[in-house]
Amino acid sequence: MKLRRITPPLLEGDAVAVISESLLPMLYWRSVPVLRRRSRELTSLERFVLEMGLALGTIEPADFSAVTSLPPSVLAGAAWRLVADGVLTPDGAGYRVDPGRSVEALTQQAVHRLVRSTADFVLLPRTGDLFVVASEQNSWLRELERKQLAADQRAPVPSELRAYGRAAYLGMRVREGTAGTRGSGIADVPIPDHGDIPLVEDLKGGPGQPVLPGLCPAYRCRAVIRTAPDAGHVADVTLTGSRRRSGKDGEQVEVTARLDGADGLLGRWLELAGHLDDPVAQQAAWRELGLVTERGEPPLSRMRKRGPSAWELLLEGETARMICDRGRMPAEPAGLAVQGEEAVAEVSCSFFPADDEARLLFARDDVVTSVMSARDPAGELERACAEAGRRYGTTLTEESVRERIWALGHYALTYELRRRRDFAYD
């Protein structure tokens, strides 16, 4: 892992981490034939028919009329959807009941049946994440194809995946419950009558170039990881690259995608963002941020994690004064880029005082900030000194603030603050 200092990342709303750069190997398939589970609530008449069928074994029109005083045609009207759902089977003039499905339907007050449909799947081969992308008109997979975004590189696929057919693999994952199909109703992926196709197809190069076995497209991207409503995580990912077969050389395009169900990938990204949990990485962080004084090693006990990619660093007086001597504000936040093999995560660092000397310096710079942004700097100085003193539990003098403003190079403001005292002739 490598660290470098950057501008602190901006985390807004439910964002918890920023991935500024990553390479994303990805396979996807559009309009894959699937079986979806459709549910329908039972009507009161259908419930009565099923209860009668379970009691008698079969339902005859004459028995139905005798019990309900309704004409036999009403039974036919109540039974046709149950027949379509596979709960009843025509048997002569009446109907035979499927006991298992009838009990299940009565228990759930609904019937379920499988219908043929299609779905769009995405597989991230390195992490094994498999999920469904909703096939609406403006889905990001449609955009990926429409904009002809070219892959940045080719990445190797795990060898075990090359042994599968597409439908066999997707169906296995769906039945195991290890595919992100939440809300889609997908129950299975049947193998087509004409036979399966390979899950991983060999990539063909250009004219005269060899076939590349066991590789898949890898897209350059950046991402913001967010907290999902179920307390998990989702990512807003921007895929970037050039347009394939474009008439304009080097034309750049972007496609924005929402990754929901890519828990393995997001886990890796969050692990990278949390790399500062490691004591060796913490030492490197203090050094990269320029917070190591001449006296020795970084104070590791002074780092506290407050989010997946956010840290608090407690500065002692010596460190805070060193920062001030360099013309910087000790409370000014900083950022670190954590570079791994496949991605770069951004970490934000906030600073707080750890002793009385540091509290005095933090308070002084808070006053400097208030005075510099005030419409009446001289009038603000006294009020800001009192407020900062209460907040940090210290005592500030106006003179120390004026000296700090001068040291920061704001000479005109310093003269303005001294004018009432130095030129008060009344």
Structure confidence by residue, pLDDT tens digits, 5-60:
999 998 888 999 999 999 999 999 999 999 998 888 888 898 998 999 898 888 89
pLDDT of 248: 56
Phi, psi of 326 (to 5 degrees): -90, 5
Residues 6+ apart with CB under 8 A from 366: 331, 384, 388, 391, 392
CA angle, 297 then 302 then 305, to 5°:
125
**What would the two tokens of residue 409 be?**
């190079």
The answer to whether the CB of 387 falls within 8 A of the CB of 374 is: no
pLDDT of 232: 87
3-state secondary structure of 90: strand
Q: From CA 186, how far away is CA 248, in angstroms rounded? A: 41
All structural domains of the chain with their residue ranges: 43-108, 272-356, 357-422
The 94-97 sheet, strands edge to edge = 58-59, 94-97, 88-91
Distances (CA, A) of 42 to 81, 85, 95, 120: 10, 11, 17, 31
pLDDT of 86: 82
Distances (CA, A) of 381 to 182, 200, 401, 416: 58, 69, 8, 11
SS3 content of the chain, % helix, strand, coil (to 5): 35, 30, 30
pLDDT of 246: 54
Q: Name the burial class of residue 186, with classes exposed (0-12), middle (13-18) and buried (19+) by CB atoms within 10 angstroms of its CB.
A: buried
The answer to whether the CB of 228 falls within 8 A of the CB of 250 is: no
Please state the length of the chain: 426
Q: From CA 348, how far away is CA 333, in angstroms rounded? A: 7
Sign of CA pseudo-dihedral 371, 373, 377, 380: negative
Q: Name the burial class of residue 171, with classes exposed (0-12), middle (13-18) and buried (19+) by CB atoms within 10 angstroms of its CB.
A: buried
pLDDT of 201: 81
pLDDT of 398: 85
Strands 343-353, 310-315: pairing is parallel
Q: Name the burial class of residue 295, with classes exposed (0-12), middle (13-18) and buried (19+) by CB atoms within 10 angstroms of its CB.
A: exposed
Enumerate residue ranges in the chain where pLDDT < 70: 203-212, 245-250, 294-301, 420-426
Selected from 1.10.10.10, 1.20.1340.10, 1.10.1040.10, 3.20.20.70, the CATH number assigned to the domain covering 43-108 reads: 1.10.10.10
Closest CA to 178 of 119, 126, 234, 130: 130
pLDDT of 425: 47
pLDDT of 131: 94
The continuous run of DSSP H or E covering 230 comes out as: none
